[in-house]
Structure 1
Amino acid sequence: MLIDQALLQKYNQPTPRYTSYPTVPFWQEGIDSGRWSSAVQQQFSTCNNGEGISLYLHLPFCESLCTYCGCNKKITTNHKVEEVYLEAILKEWRLYREMMPAPPVIRELHLGGGTPTFFSPDNLDRLVSAILKDSIIHDDYAFSIEGHPNNTTRQHLDALYQLGFRRISYGVQDLNAEVQRIINRIQPFENVQQATEDARAAGFTAVNFDLIYGLPRQHGDRLAHTIMQSLSLQPDRIAFYSYAHTPRVIDAQRLIDENDLPSAAEKLSLYLLGKELISAQGYANIGMDHFALPNDELYKAWQKQALHRNFMGYTTQKSGMLLGLGVSAISDTSTAFAQNEKTLGGYYKAIHSGKLAVHKGYFLSKEDELFRRHILDIACQGRTQFNTSDGRELEQWSLPLLKDLQDDGLVNLSADYVEVTTIGRNFIRNICKAFDLHLLRRDAASPQQTFSKAI
């Protein structure tokens, strides 16, 4: 599909990825832990007997620093840190378990990082087994992990398979040697191939790849080579992310020479090239940045308008409660968000004193809940229905932007709903932004560049 370059230029503006609403920059430092505990208990009672709950475990350690990475991580080659961290994360789980009047029903479990496969197979087994002990696994469960192709062994995969894991996401990013050198992530294609084959041989039914466009020294031929080599392994899903260069926030990115980055026009070309190559191989473009084969559960959920989006990205498991364990992990009770301490020292201090490590968060107002629904519906289903409770705010803030989006052919707007067009699916973040009252009000008063550009 041809996309007007003028449209791409117009909408390539700083825009959130909308893994939450309100987005993290609008949360408050400091959080009432008592009020947060009450929100957890209330939502647990609502969710546990039906859809179950989701768990995210943040495992922050990496053996080397990837200079593009914006994740919360700790660089070390000392694997003795595993034991201390495991004890802390299990203590945190016990603190939450004390709030639960019944065994938790685990619907979704995801291990992210950092590099989760930094941990030994035995320690991953110990961690997950302790979490699942005295818990109930939902009939429609989904367990997944992020793996590094360089250090994910067959022993890791066999141990995880026995625990119920069936999906793994590998951070491929780019397969060109010069690009890998600059971003300090050296992983030959052979390592990706071996890790993929090992996962399938171990019984994993889904292998996902993460690819990034806009990296330093990346150009069309190099990106095309990365994509075609990756597609030769037939991953079930591909996340095709834009590199967000924010050195004012991410110290490691200061090691990247900005002269090596593609220009805005070049980055737009990389985006279009990648979408074209991936789509030509039979992958459907789903939501923001994601592609899936027709036999993948994500594609099926998208067709049925049953997608859900949370801090783990797009998921087929719709749970109204996500608990995040570990340093910097984020929890979501549908009516409140909480983020753990972002430093290991702060996290350990809180947990070892017998307290939850939450330090930042947000309690949603009724207005927030209404507009969060619109953003999730656009991001997951490509359509949202208006209702009378949206009130004056919809008319004042959202409708003028939606009318502009309609004039550009990105949405179809009626009195009752707005629906994303085929072309508009390339601009989902921008359409979601029309419902972001916090951002719209702030920018009307004092524009700031808090977020990465949309493309």
Structure 2
Amino acid sequence: MDKDLLFKYNIPGPRYTSYPTVPYWQKTPPSIDKWKELVQDAFTVSNQKEGISLYVHLPFCESLCTYCGCNTRITINHAVENKYIQAVLKEWKMYCALLGEEKPLIRELHLGGGTPTFFSPGNLVKLVKGLLENAQVHTDARFGFEAHPGNTTDEHLEALYSVGFRRISIGVQDFNPVVLAMINRHQTFEQVKHLTLKAREIGYTSVNYDIVYGLPQQKNCSMMQTMLRVIQLKPDRIAFYSYAHVPWIKPGQRSYTEKDLPDADHKIAIYETGRNALELAGYEDIGMDHFALRSDELYKAATQERLHRNFMGYTDTRTQLLIGLGASSISDSWWGYAQNEKKVEDYYKKLAADELPVFRGHELSREDLIMRKHILRLMTSFETSWASSSEVCAELYQALERLSEMEVDELVELEPFRLRITEKGKAFVRNVCMAFDARLWADLPQTTLFSQTV
């Protein structure tokens, strides 16, 4: 890979799990009644044809991993589990009442965190059974959860398998003990190996590893060692993404300084080492930060042009409606977004008042919807087109003008009514999408909002 291009395009940029991105949502969000209307409309379009997706945010962790940018609540008090489960189930019942007599058809269910396996196996089963009590499960459903190797037990694996889970995402981050100590992550290679092998023995069909580059004290040689161990265990898919250093947002990152982080030159070298190792081991680049074996559904979805991207990342299913449950969760109706209260106490307070716990959102304009389509296509198939007038607006032509330098650098190819990201340009998909981000260009940030693209 051309290092000069990596340096040239290594700028802050969104990951585009939505468009518009959260910092560019409307200052005055749509009313709660409008949000309910958008949910009902999406449900009518989506439920019978493709089903809906559920994301449940379980924010509790016993200790703080200092690199983490997620919304978490640190506690060793497991008495919090029951109250939180009851709150999530109440929120879901409120949505079910909104959706009417037709039962939701669950196509995708994902438990994220925080640390979902903070909860006991019995309580996770209680939660999932409560969610499915008044719903149907799609015949081709995808149920997955995030697992911390340090506390995910065989009982967790068996309990979640018993209620339909077949996918597990393991937070590896790095295998180097020095790096793990710096980020306060307590786990071993043996724990990851046991978790991987046990999941497969039980019957899980897809194992994902999260690997992060750019962490404090991370070296090029240690990344090679990490990747050799990853390849040894052969997960089906891998999310290989950049550490975002934002101590002004996440104070836990102040436990180390910028001096502990690899500089730009070393970070790019670490990225290249990891990426090259994955490609040599047979992993295919299916989109931003994501690699998969050809046997995995994510790769198959990419080749069959049915890959999708939402707030859960890349998925091999697409639903019009994604409902996020729990503190800080984000919902997507295609025509609008809504995010729940971030603080657990505020989340509980709104539910106690029989209100949906939403605190901000965005209703997409016609221009938003057009640009969203193009960004989504670029993220999932590395190309887009605009032969129809319904896919054209002034912002589209402005985006194409911004791509002239990338065209010179052979990262994109422009044709009449069509744009394609080249093989050389795949590593820069975030940069290409930024050209289409009309709201970002209309109000360029004066402070750092996003992580570096490499």
Q: TM-score, normalised by structure 2?
A: 0.98
Structure 2 segments unaligned to the other structure (5+ residues) = none
Per-residue CA shift, 1:220-256, capped at 9, x if unaligned?
Answer: 1111111111211110001001001011111111112
Mapped pair 1:63 → 2:76 = no
Paired with 1:322 and 1:228, the residues of 2 have a C-alpha distance of 36
Task: Please name the residue that 1:17 is paired with.
Answer: 15
| 8 Å CA contact retained: 2:149, 2:187 | yes
Paired with 1:31 and 1:112, the residues of 2 have a C-alpha distance of 26
| 8 Å CA contact retained: 1:31, 1:358 | no
Alpha-carbon shift at residue 28 of structure 1 (Å)? 3.5
TM-aligned CA distance change 1:28 to 1:394, over 3 Å? closer
Alpha-carbon shift at residue 137 of structure 1 (Å)? 0.7
Paired with 2:31 and 2:328, the residues of 1 have a C-alpha distance of 17
SS at match of 1:171: strand
Paired with 2:24 and 2:435, the residues of 1 have a C-alpha distance of 16
Alpha-carbon shift at residue 449 of structure 1 (Å)? 2.4
Task: Please name the residue that 1:241 is paired with.
Answer: 241
Structure 2 residue identity aligned to 1:200 = R
Task: Please name the residue that 2:40 is paired with.
Answer: 41
Task: Please name the residue that 2:453 is paired with.
Answer: 454
SS at match of 1:232: helix
Alpha-carbon shift at residue 318 of structure 1 (Å)? 0.6
Structure 1 residue identity aligned to 2:266 = E
Task: Please name the residue that 2:312 is paired with.
Answer: 312
Alpha-carbon shift at residue 415 of structure 1 (Å)? 2.1
Task: Please name the residue that 1:170 is paired with.
Answer: 170
| 8 Å CA contact retained: 1:31, 1:359 | no
SS at match of 1:450: coil
Structure 2 residue identity aligned to 1:437 = A
Paired with 2:105 and 2:426, the residues of 1 have a C-alpha distance of 35
Alignment of 1:35-434 (within 5 A): 35-101=34-100, 102-387=102-387, 388-389=389-390, 390-395=392-397, 397-434=398-435
**Identical-residue share of aligned pairs (%):** 50
Large movers: runs of 4+ above 4 Å:
none
Per-residue CA shift, 1:94-124, capped at 9, x if unaligned?
Answer: 1101011210000000000000000001000
Structure 1 residue identity aligned to 2:403 = L
- Computed over aligned residues only, the root mean square deviation of the Cα atoms, in angstroms, reads 1.0
Alpha-carbon shift at residue 268 of structure 1 (Å)? 0.7
Per-residue CA shift, 1:348-391, capped at 9, x if unaligned?
Answer: 00011110000011000010000000000000011100243423
Per-residue CA shift, 1:119-147, capped at 9, x if unaligned?
Answer: 00100000000101121111111000000
| 8 Å CA contact retained: 2:370, 2:393 | no
SS at match of 1:106: strand
Alpha-carbon shift at residue 31 of structure 1 (Å)? 4.3
Paired with 1:156 and 1:305, the residues of 2 have a C-alpha distance of 34
Alpha-carbon shift at residue 441 of structure 1 (Å)? 1.3
| 8 Å CA contact retained: 2:245, 2:253 | yes
SS at match of 1:168: strand
| 8 Å CA contact retained: 2:206, 2:236 | yes
Task: Please name the residue that 1:442 is paired with.
Answer: 443
Alpha-carbon shift at residue 447 of structure 1 (Å)? 4.4
| 8 Å CA contact retained: 1:154, 1:202 | no
SS at match of 1:49: helix
**Residues paired across the two proteins, number:** 450
Structure 1 residue identity aligned to 2:416 = A
